[in-house]
Amino acid sequence: MRSILLKIHLYAGLLCSSYPIIFGVSSLHFNHHFVEPGHTPNRPLKACRNRCRR
């Protein structure tokens, strides 16, 4: 009985450990914007704002 509980505990921990890894990697994207130096994703939005103000 103890070996069955040990295996269940081990595999449940392995299953649950993927969620903190996924959330940790996704939080890197939100906190640290890793983009190329010449890449400005908001440029079309700013151009639209300038055209819409006329």
Number of domains observed in the structure of the chain: 1
- pLDDT for 29 equals 74
Q: Are 41 and 35 in contact (CB under 8 A)?
A: yes
Domain assignment of residue 16, given as a range: 2-52
Q: Which residue has the higher pLDDT, 2 or 42?
A: 2
Q: What phi and psi values does residue 33 have, to the nearest 5 degrees? A: -80, 100
Q: Summarize pLDDT for 8-39 with one digit per residue, the tens.
A: 999 999 999 988 999 888 888 777 766 655 66
Cα distances from 18 to residues 39, 43, 52, in angstroms, run 32, 36, 46
Q: Is the pLDDT confidence value at 50 over 90?
A: no
pTM: 0.44
